[in-house]
Amino acid sequence: MRHSQYILAFFFTLILTTQARHHHHTKHKHSSHSNTPSSGISMPPVAAPGGYDNEAPSPSPSDDDGSEIFNVRTFGAIGDGIADDTKSFKMAWDSACQSDSAINIVLVPRGFSFMVQSTIFTGPCQGGLVLKVDGTLMPPDGPESWPNNTSRRQWLVFYRINNMSLQGSGVIDGRGQNWWDLPCKPHKGPNGTTLPGPCDSPVALRFFMSSNLSVQGLRIKNSPQFHFRFDGCKSVRVDSIFITSPALSPNTDGIHIENTNDVRIYNSVISNGDDCVSIGTGCYDVDIKNITCGPSHGISIGSLGNHNSRACVSNITVRESTIKGSDNGVRIKTWQGGSGSVSKVTFSKIHMESVRNPIIIDQFYCLSKDCSNKSSAVFVSDIVYSNIKGTYDIRHPPMRFACSDSVPCTNLTLSDIELLPAQGDLFNDPFCWNAYGNLETLTIPPVSCLIEGLPQSLPGNDLSRC
């Protein structure tokens, strides 16, 4: 009898052990907002700021909606603002990129500050990818801390990626101050001059040869150079972002696009030391709406045609936006000696507040005093200015159309323009040079310098065709 009891006890223990092992390896589903771990991987406890769980995260918990989360902390990121978390971010990215889930979320959790070196995140990826920045993300602090074996022209690069979203409630801090203070930067030398020396500074976020991109809800500040740059991209959506850097921070464009089409930039606030949005060559089908811009250098097409290059820009709309305390409002700027064209551009329903040059075409753009006159230029035509109102800085004319000597601007159309001096009662006269167009309504101040009709000769197709 005692022998039979031992046998029964042995089988009962075996059954319990087997059940425990089976329970230990079961993978649990989680809701899309959960950070609860789903595997038995042992990790150091994660702090719980902002409602995050205290338990250790799993490498890739699955969600009921078919998404998968890749928390950078799971891959070893420290998040103390000092440790180099580059490898952990790369591992999280590569794992998400190789996952066959429909949506793969690389999570940068709130409550942590992650320092990441200059890095290229490459595609293509198996499924859609979301980089969700809820914490703080930042590069090394200035050129002295920048590793010699990494690029000084870019910080985070996203290359050959289709269907990616960059979003979150966190902050991307470019830590640009030490870059702006380089002696080569404008106004850092004696008497406002620059000094020789290394001057490369990184673009904070660059998207290159990618498509179906979304940037939403983020705050980015103090980039060493451009905050965002889109090169060779298609189908870009930027919505509800905040970009800030000091008014005197050099070359800190908010969003720069080049060779990029089908772009929507909506509902965002940008203040910086250069253009809020700058549109380079090869861009078309761009819609910019509800932007609050300034202090800044305004919203610009260009500069185009530098080093005798060919530039093509068309189908651009800027509408329902406010520009305040800026050097320029809506601007087209080209260098002498270029070729190509800027056409089919509409600036509509723009409110100006104390802007130095609210409306400007500058075909003599030059960054030094020794630019020589050249006979060729980018052809500017079919530009509409409609319902642009507000105030201007009285040190400059409210409208300036400085077109090329040899390649005049044509088909400039103005309607419902009302620009008043920010101080005093004296109006400055608009300035025109070789500018052809028409007034659909009376303007304030009156524009009497536009030439009606078309010039007797237009640039040859070989120069202006795009």
Domains of the chain, residue spans: 67-183+202-367+375-439
> By the 8 A CB rule, do 168 and 212 touch?
no
Read off the amino acid at residue 326: S
The per-residue pLDDT for 282 is 98
The per-residue pLDDT for 186 is 72
pTM: 0.86
d(CA 116, CA 136): 11
140-153 pLDDT per residue, tens: 999 999 998 888 99
Q: What amino acid positions are annotated as catalytic residues?
A: 297
> By the 8 A CB rule, do 277 and 330 touch?
no
Residue % of the chain over a pLDDT of 90: 75
Would you state the structure tokens that stand for residue 21, as one six-digit string? 């092992």
Mean pLDDT of 407-424: 96
Q: Choose among 171, 287, 186: nearest CA to 222.
A: 171
Segment 140-149 long-range contacts (CB within 8 Å, at least 24 positions apart)? 140/115, 140/175, 141/175, 141/178, 142/175, 142/177, 142/178, 142/179, 143/178, 143/179, 143/182, 143/198, 143/201, 144/178, 146/118, 146/202, 147/117, 147/118
Kindly tell me if the per-residue pLDDT of 193 is higher than 70. Answer: no
Q: Which CATH architecture has domain 67-183+202-367+375-439?
A: 3 Solenoid (2.160)
Mean pLDDT of 220-248: 98
The per-residue pLDDT for 465 is 77
> By the 8 A CB rule, do 336 and 306 touch?
no
Residues 6+ apart with CB under 8 A from 226: 203, 204, 251, 252, 253, 254, 255, 256
250-261 pLDDT per residue, tens: 999 999 999 999
